Every structure is written in structure tokens, then in C-alpha cells.
């Protein structure tokens, strides 16, 4: 059962205690890339929420004692809906990827979500924050706003490229998106599995994997899909699971698919 995992829980009960445990914690104190920090400010994210304070620093740290992949420690984050879990995994993702397209690497991050709607939301949050990089250095050309145009981000050369792999998109578009060598894939499990089979899509370059709304992923019966996807990911990846609840099926999945995860639970309404 989940006792072993739950033993390592670092419970954060209230704001004061959270601050004490995390040693304060502003975005400024997290050692984030300056472009990312500026982007957070511009977007109105002035101070991290409790779940962000409790997770971002450990997702960023790559202790030399943690097995040597250099990709950082696995983590299970549990907090209520609306507590800010998207940025809790998106900020480390953008910091790690550096906000620029990589020609050599292939997709470096994978975000799994239970629905197309959530995928679109997550894409929006990620693209808006990543936009700071393009504006920042090297006098790079400013890319147009255009949140309605899902393909726009794949046309630029400098900025991070995002792929939306979800049901409802035409398969032709899906092939085109993947041919664009995306840095980040945001996917629903069914469609991703389909592409793995139909396109022999490789996930061997993925370094950072997120299961967002993991409880819903399981409620929707994606369990077998997720296990298959896990098997196709490199063992050196960093795996992150965020959820509003932590049922036993999820604990079991985390124990099988994550390596010695840190468990962060915010039980109280903050």
C-alpha cells in the first residue's frame, strides 16, 4: 500500500508554516532564468502560491546524490483545484528547457492531461511565459501574439516549439506538428499512444514528464495507456505527478513509475 510513500510526505499546513519550512520563497529567490522571472512579473504572477513554493525549488534542484541522471528528483504534488499547480510544473519546465528551440534534442518535455480543453489551457500558459525569452536576448524577432492559432508557435525558429497532441485535431495536422521537431508535447494519453503506434513517434529524448490532473487521468480509464507510455520513456527522465486527490490507484502508479518521489501535500485550504 501507499504507506511508504506517504511516510515521506512533507505536509504544509498553513501559510506561516509553509514559509518557515520553505525558507520564505519568492520567485526571485528561486534562481530562475532572468527572462522567466521577468515573464512571470509581466504576466502578473508576483508571488508563488503555497504549492509553487513547496515544489518549484525541489523540481529545479539537481543534487549530485540523486542517482546521477542530472534531471532532478521525481515529485508527487497534491493540492486542491485552483491552487496553482500549472505553474508549479511549468516554471521548472521552462527554466530547464531554457525557453529556446533545440534543433538537436527532439522533444524534451511531455505533459499528459486528461482533456483537450486542459491541453489548450496549459499550452496557453506555457507559451505566454516562454514568450519572454524571445523578447529578451539577441535582438531576436518579436513573434506575433496569436493564441488562437495553434500552429503559429511551430513556425518561428528561435522560440520553444509546442505540440498539441489531442483528440479532435486532424491527423494531418498532427503529423505536421510532430514533423516540426517540437520541444514540448502536451498530450492526451489516447492520442499520444495513437501517434506512438502510427508514426513510430519516439519518446527517447524526453527528460521531463508531467502527469497533470492525474486523478482525472485515472478516472477516465487511461491507466493502461499511461503504463504503456511510461515504458517508452527513458529511465533517466524526471517524472512529476500533480493531482487534487491521491487515491490508492494513483499511489500505486506513482510507486511503479516514479523514482523515490518527494511527496508534497497541501491539505488545508490556503
Q: Which residues bind ligand ADP (CB under 6 A)?
A: 45, 48-49, 52, 79, 81-87
Packing angle, helices 85-97 and 34-42, rounded to 10? 150
* Rounded least distance, CB 137 to ligand ADP, Å: 24
- 95 contact choice in ligand ADP, Mg ion, none (CB below 5 to 8 Å, kind-dependent): none
- Residue 58 touches which of ligand ADP, Mg ion, none (CB < 5 to 8 A by kind)? none
Count of residues of this chain found to bind Mg ion when the rule CB under 5 A is applied: 1
**Is the CB of residue 209 less than 8 Å from the CB of residue 238?**
yes
Q: Please identify which residue in 85, 95, 191, 265 interacts with Mg ion, judged by CB under 5 A.
A: 85
| Residue 165 and residue 196 in contact, taking contact as beta carbons nearer than 8 Å | no
Closest CB to Mg ion: residue number: 85
Q: Which is nearer to ligand ADP, 79 or 196 (CB)?
A: 79
76/196 with CB nearer ligand ADP:
76
Q: Which is nearer to ligand ADP, 86 or 188 (CB)?
A: 86
Give me the least distance between CB of 85 and Mg ion, in Å please. 5
Residue 67 interaction partner, one of Mg ion, ligand ADP, none, beta carbon < 5-8 Å per kind: none
- Residue 131 CA to residue 94 CA, distance in Å, equals 11
Q: Cα separations (Å) of 41 from 16, 143, 235, 269?
A: 23, 20, 35, 25
CB of 197 to Mg ion, least distance (A): 28
**Shortest gap between Cβ of 45 and ligand ADP (angstroms)?**
4
Minimum CB distance to Mg ion smaller for 133 or for 162: 162
Nearest residue (CB) to ligand ADP, 79 versus 185 = 79
Backbone φ and ψ of 200, nearest 5°: 50, 40
Residue 23 contacts which entry, ligand ADP, Mg ion, none (Cβ below 5-8 A, type-dependent): none
Min dist CB 86 to Mg ion, Å, is 5
Residue nearer to Mg ion on the CB measure, 18 or 118: 118
Interface residues with Mg ion (CB under 5 A)? 85
Amino acid at each position: 500500500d501507499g504507506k511508504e510513500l506517504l511516510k515521506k510526505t512533507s505536509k504544509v499546513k498553513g501559510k506561516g508554516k509553509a514559509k518557515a519550512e520553505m525558507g520564505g520563497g519568492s520567485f526571485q529567490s528561486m534562481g530562475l532564468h532572468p527572462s522567466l522571472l521577468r515573464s512571470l512579473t509581466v504576466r502578473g504572477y508576483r508571488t508563488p502560491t503555497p504549492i509553487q513554493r513547496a515544489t518549484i525549488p525541489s523540481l529545479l534542484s539537481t543534487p549530485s546524490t540523486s542517482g546521477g541522471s542530472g534531471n532532478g528528483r521525481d515529485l508527487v504534488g497534491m493540492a486542491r483545484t485552483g491552487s496553482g499547480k500549472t505553474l508549479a510544473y511549468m516554471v521548472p519546465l521552462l527554466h530547464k528547457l531554457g525557453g529556446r528551440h533545440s534543433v538537436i534534442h527532439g522533444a524534451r518535455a511531455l505533459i499528459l492531461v486528461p482533456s483537450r480543453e486542459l491541453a489548450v489551457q496549459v499550452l496557453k500558459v506555457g507559451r505566454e511565459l516562454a514568450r519572454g525569452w524571445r523578447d529578451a536576448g539577441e535582438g531576436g524577432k518579436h513573434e506575433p501574439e496569436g493564441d488562437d492559432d495553434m500552429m503559429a508557435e511551430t513556425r518561428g525558429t528561435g522560440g520553444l516549439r509546442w505540440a498539441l497532441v489531442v483528440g479532435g485535431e486532424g491527423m494531418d495536422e498532427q503529423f505536421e506538428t510532430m514533423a516540426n521537431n517540437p520541444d514540448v508535447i502536451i498530450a492526451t494519453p489516447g492520442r499520444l499512444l495513437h501517434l506512438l503506434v502510427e508514426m513510430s513517434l519516439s519518446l527517447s529524448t524526453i527528460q521531463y514528464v508531467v502527469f497533470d490532473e492525474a486523478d482525472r487521468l485515472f478516472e477516465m480509464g487511461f491507466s493502461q495507456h499511461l503504463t504503456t507510455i511510461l515504458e517508452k520513456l527513458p529511465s533517466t527522465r524526471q517524472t512529476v505527478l500533480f493531482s487534487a486527490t491521491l487515491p490508492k490507484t494513483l499511489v500505486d502508479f506513482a510507486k511503479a513509475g516514479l523514482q523515490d518521489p518527494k511527496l508534497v501535500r497541501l491539505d488545508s485550504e490556503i
